Amino acid sequence: SGDISRPRLGLDAATAEEVQGRITHAIHLAALYNLSAPRDVSILLNVDGTRHVLDFLEGAPSLERFAHTSTIAVVGTHTGLFREDDLDVGQGFKNAYDETKFLAEQLVRERRDRIPTVILRPATVVGDSRSGAIEKIDGPYYALTMIARNLHRIVPDTGGNRFYIAPVDFVAHAYYRLFEDEESVGKVFHLIDADPPTYLEFLEMACDAMGRPRPWMKVPAAWMKPMGRLPMFERITGVPREAFEHSFFSVEYDVSQVAPALEKHGISCPPVRDYIDVMVRYFLEHSDDPAIRKGDWRAVTT
């Protein structure tokens, strides 16, 4: 097996050459997704790891297509419209994950003249829209944790901020179809719900699905944001500070390239209201399962 943190992906020279000679299509999915991980560890896996993959693929003479898995989080702290072709728009970053995925996509773009590339930026991925099944509970599921603990009655007023999530079955299907399409080469695609709910609308749908009362008071987001920095915040709420702060930025993601590309394959992201019940049900049935509450970044450095 390979190791993206090492040159030649950790393979000996003979094995690397043999593998490179057989590659026609490559997909880069490996990354460290943990908002609490230190920057140096995130750099090692997300930036250096991507560089090593690109170096390896440049030695693959028969390579026809490469898919790089980025994320809509490369938007960082930018507000307003973020186009699929945008990357560096002068944004800052909320955490090392967002920053290092941005840096990784920069590396990929720099080599698009030598490597035929498709860049895909999924939204935050949630469980299967039919079963609710998910490998790891984090991200949007922290909102469900707060509802389950009855800590949702007073919420930040995030205005019209959209809540960009997408079920894993949609992301996988869209990813596959876009990757196999020759017309995708050289393009960037946002794999998102084109008409997402606001943060408050998501909370209300989740409350209804969980049988809990909806939030009854909104307070200015500027009042609540400092709460996430308090030492006891995560212990009480079950929500890491880094995840809490993701709710406070207003951005609109462009879908002008992905919409027609998926339309010809008959693919569209289901609206949240169509799968919120199974999402919540799976969460309630599995929220105490340690197997899906994994994600300790230390595991990748030992």
Taking the C-alpha atoms of residue 104 and residue 60, their distance in angstroms, rounded to an integer, is 20
Phi, psi of 256 (to 5 degrees): -65, -25
**Amino acid found at 55:** D
> Can you give the pLDDT at residue 118?
99
Taking the C-alpha atoms of residue 295 and residue 37, their distance in angstroms, rounded to an integer, is 10
Nearest to 21 by CA among 36, 30, 11: 11
Residue spans per domain, the chain: 7-300
Taking the C-alpha atoms of residue 189 and residue 122, their distance in angstroms, rounded to an integer, is 8
Q: What is the DSSP letter of 287?
A: T
β-strands 217-220, 165-167: how paired? unpaired
Cα 128-293-282 angle, rounded to 5 deg:
35
User: In terms of CATH architecture, what is 7-300?
Assistant: 3-Layer(aba) Sandwich (3.40)
pLDDT string in tens for the chain (302-residue length)? 789 999 999 999 999 999 999 999 999 999 999 888 899 999 999 999 999 999 999 999 999 999 999 999 999 999 999 999 999 999 999 899 999 999 999 999 999 999 999 999 999 999 999 999 998 888 889 889 889 988 888 887 788 889 999 999 999 999 999 999 999 999 999 999 999 999 999 999 999 999 999 998 887 767 666 776 777 777 776 676 666 666 556 899 999 999 999 999 999 999 999 999 999 999 999 887 766 655 544 444 44
Q: What is the DSSP letter of 192?
A: S
